[in-house]
Amino acid sequence: MRRTLTTLLAAIIGATLSGQVKVSVHETAPDQPVIPKEIYGQFAEHLGRCIYDGIWVGEDSPIPNINGYRKDLVEAIRELKVPVLRWPGGCFADEYHWMDGIGPKKDRPRIINTHWGGTLEDNSFGTHEFLNFCEMLGIEPYISGNVGSGTVEELSKWVEYMTAKEGVMAEKRAANGRKEPWNVKYIGVGNENWGCGGNMTAEYYSDVYKRYATYCRNYDGNKLYKVACGASDYDYNWTRVLMSKVRNGLSGLSLHYYTGGQGRALEFDEDNYYNLIGKAVEVDEVLKNHEAIMDLYDPQRKIDLLLDEWGTWFAQEPGTIPGHLFQQNSMRDAMVAAMSLNIFNKHTARLKMTNIAQMVNVLQAMILTKDAEVVLTPTYHVFRMYNVHQDAVSVPVAYSAGTSVSPSGRIYPELSVSASKADAIHVSLANPSVDKPKTVELEFDSLKPSKVTGEILVGKGKGIDAVKSHNDFGGQVQVAPAAFKDFKTSGKTVKVTLPPASVVVLEVK
C-alpha cells in the first residue's frame, strides 16, 4: 500500500515538475460501455428566438428555407449529427397545450408565453413542424409533456395523435396532412415539476408521474421510453424519493445542471473564468452522487439517468428582450462544452442522454441568428469535433494531471481527456490554462500508431483575450477548427503539445 502511494505521489510530482502529463490509454480494456450517441443530444424550447427565427421562419420568409425551416440552420445541424432533440420545453412544456399547434395555421390560437418574456406565441410551429424537422434530419424526437397545467387525457391523446395508426386521433392527424404515424420514443412526463412545472414535492410528483405515465400508451409497435422529471443539481432527496417510489414504468430519470456565471458571456476575468470551469466540472461529482443513489435502488441499472438540460447561463445581452436568454458564446463556452463532454463520456454506464440548452439563440447555443445571418459558435465546433465519440466504445484513460486553484480559491483540473474506439481511436483533450501550454504523452496498451491526424479549436490572441474569442455577425470569425500537427509518434506513444486554452481531438490508427 505504502509503495503504491509513493508511486502515485511520484507520478503526480513528476508530472507537475516536468510540465508533462502521461495519459495511459487502455484501448485493450475489455467490456467497456458504448458512448450512446444520445450523450450528444440537444434541446429546443419555445423561448426567445430559439424556435421562431432560429429554426422556423415559415415558408413565405425571404430568408432561404426548406419548407419553413432555415436552410443555413438545417445545413449546420446536419453536420453535428444531432441524435435527439427535446421539445417544446423546458418551463414552456408545462404550459403548452399541443392542440393549439395543429391544424390550419390561420386558426391556431395566439397565446402569451407567460414564462418567457410574455411574448406572443402564434403556434405556427407545432407537433407536425417539430416532428417533420426531426424526420428530415434523422433526429430522434424527445417530447416533453405538460403535467403542470395539462390533463392526463391531453397527454394521452398527444401520444395517440403522434403514434397511432388508426382511431380518432390518427384520423385527426391524417386530416391535418400526415397519414402515417411518426416514431416517437422519448416522452418526458413533465419538466422541473419541483419548480416551474407545478411546484410539487418529490412525494407528490411520484404519484402524479405514475398517473400520467399509465395513460401514455404504446400504439402499433411504437415503444415509448418514459422519462420522469428529475432533480436540479444537488437535490439528492428528489432522486432518492423518485427511485424509492417509482420503480416500474420508468425508463429514465432526468437531471438538470447549469453552470451560471457572473455578468455577460464576454464579460469575465481570469478568476471568473477558472471559477466557471471549476463549477462546470463539478458535474462529475453531481452525476456520481445521483448515480450512487440510483445504484442503491436499481443495482441492475434498468433505469437510465438523463441530463436533459445543461450548459452555461449568463446575463443576457443588452438590447435583447428580457426573458429571451440570448447570450454570446466564446472559447470559454467551448472549454465548458469540451470538459463536460469528456466527463459525460465516462458516465455512460448509467448516463444515457444529455441535452445541451439550447440549439439556437438561447443560452449555450450552437448557432446564433440575426435576420439572414448565421453564426456558428465555438460550442458548435466542439460538438462537431466530438461527434466521433457517438456510439463508439468507451476507452478508459488514466492520468494525474493535477489541479490548480483560481485566485478566489476554486479548484479546477489542469487537463481533461476522454477517448473512444470505433474504426479508429479518438482522444479528445482540453487544456483550460489561459497561459500555459500542456505537453501530454499518450501511451497506448498495445497500439503502435501508424497514422495520427488531429483538429484543434483555439481562440485568437493571448491569455484571457484568447478565451474571450468568439464569432459574431458581420463575418467576424475568431474561433474555427484547424488541422492540428503538434504531435510526435514513437512506438506506443503520441506526444502532444496543447496550446493554452485549446481543445484538440486526435484520430489515431
Contacts 24+ apart (CB under 8 A), 116-119: 116/45, 116/46, 116/47, 116/48, 116/91, 116/92, 116/323, 116/324, 116/325, 117/48, 117/321, 117/322, 117/323, 117/324, 118/323, 119/48, 119/321, 119/323, 119/324
Which of 45, 121, 282, 284 touches ligand AHR by CB under 6 A? 45
- 192 catalytic residue (yes or no): yes
Binding ligand AHR by CB under 6 A: which of 192, 282, 284, 304?
192
User: Shortest approach of ligand AHR to residue 89 CB, angstroms?
Assistant: 5
Site string (250-289) toward ligand AHR, x via CB under 6 A: ----------------------------------------
Q: Among this protein's residues, is 317 annotated catalytic? A: no
We find the least distance from the C-beta atom of residue 256 to ligand AHR, in angstroms, to be 6
| Binding residues for ligand AHR restricted to 76-105, rule: CB under 6 A | 89-91
CB of 310 to ligand AHR, least distance (A): 10
For position 191 contacting ligand AHR by CB under 6 A, the verdict is: yes
The reply on whether position 309 binds ligand AHR by CB under 6 A is yes
Nearer to ligand AHR, 353 or 357 (CB): 357
| DSSP letter (8 states) at residue 52 | B
Closer Cβ to ligand AHR, 93 or 102, answer by number? 93
Angle in degrees, 0-180, between the axes of helices 331-344 and 378-386, rounded to the nearest 10: 30
Single out the segment in contact with ligand AHR by CB under 6 A; choices: 62-70, 134-142, 356-364, 400-408: 356-364
Of residues 361-420, which lie at the interface with ligand AHR (CB under 6 A)? 363
* Residue nearer to ligand AHR on the CB measure, 55 or 427: 55
Closer residue to ligand AHR, CB minimum distance, 40 or 194: 194
Which residues on adjacent β-strands are paired with residue 252? 227, 304
Q: What's the start-to-end Cα distance of the chain, in Å?
A: 37
Q: Whose CA is closest to 128, among 182, 85, 92, 59?
A: 182
Question: Measured between alpha carbons, how far is 341 from 351 in angstroms, rounded to an integer?
Answer: 12
Comparison of 46 and 470: residue with beta carbon closer to ligand AHR: 46
CB of 257 to ligand AHR, least distance (A): 11
Q: Which is nearer to ligand AHR, 255 or 466 (CB)?
A: 255
C-alpha cell belonging to residue 205 = 410528483
CB neighbours (10 Å) of residue 81? 17
Name the strand (E) or helix (H) holding 236. helix 236-245
Tell me the closest approach of the beta carbon of residue 63 to ligand AHR, in angstroms: 25
What angle is formed at CA 8 by the lines to CA 7 and CA 13, rounded to 5 degrees? 100
Cα dihedral 435, 456, 283, 360 in deg (nearest 10): 120
Please return the burial class of 222, using the count of CB atoms within 10 Å of its CB with bins 0-12, 13-18 and 19+: middle
Nearer of residues 74 and 196 to ligand AHR, judged by Cβ:
196
From the list 192, 282, 441, 455, the catalytic residue is: 192
Least distance from ligand AHR to the Cβ atom of residue 140, Å: 20
* Total number of residues that touch ligand AHR (CB under 6 A): 10
Query: What residues from 320 to 349 belong to the interface with ligand AHR (CB under 6 A)?
Result: none
Q: Catalytic one among 27, 45, 129, 309?
A: 309
Does 41 bind ligand AHR (CB under 6 A)? Our answer is no
Kindly give the interhelix angle for 168-175 and 152-163, rounded to the nearest 10 degrees. Answer: 60
Nearer to ligand AHR, 42 or 390 (CB): 42
One DSSP character per residue, 6-37 reads HHHHHHHHHHHHHTEEEEEE-TT-SSPPB--G
Strand (E) or helix (H) holding 335 = helix 331-344
Residue showing the smallest CB distance to ligand AHR in the complex: 90
Instruction: Dihedral sign for Cα 326, 331, 334, 340, please.
Output: negative
Considering the complex, state which of residue 260 and residue 463 has its C-beta at the smaller distance from ligand AHR: 260
Residue 88, strand partner residues: none
CB of 43 to ligand AHR, least distance (A): 7
* Residue of 139, 241, 357, 388 interacting with ligand AHR (CB under 6 A): 357
Cell matching residue 120 = 406572443
Which of the ranges 102-110, 149-157, 355-363, 489-497 carries the binding residues for ligand AHR, by CB under 6 A? 355-363
The least distance separating ligand AHR from the CB of residue 178, rounded to whole angstroms, comes to: 27
Helix (H, G, I), strand (E, B) or coil at 219: coil
Inter-CA distances, 459 with 13, 132, 416, 465, Å: 30, 37, 18, 8
CB of 363 to ligand AHR, least distance (A): 6
- Residues designated as active site: 192, 309
Contacting residues toward ligand AHR, per CB under 6 A: 45, 89-91, 191-192, 309, 357-358, 363
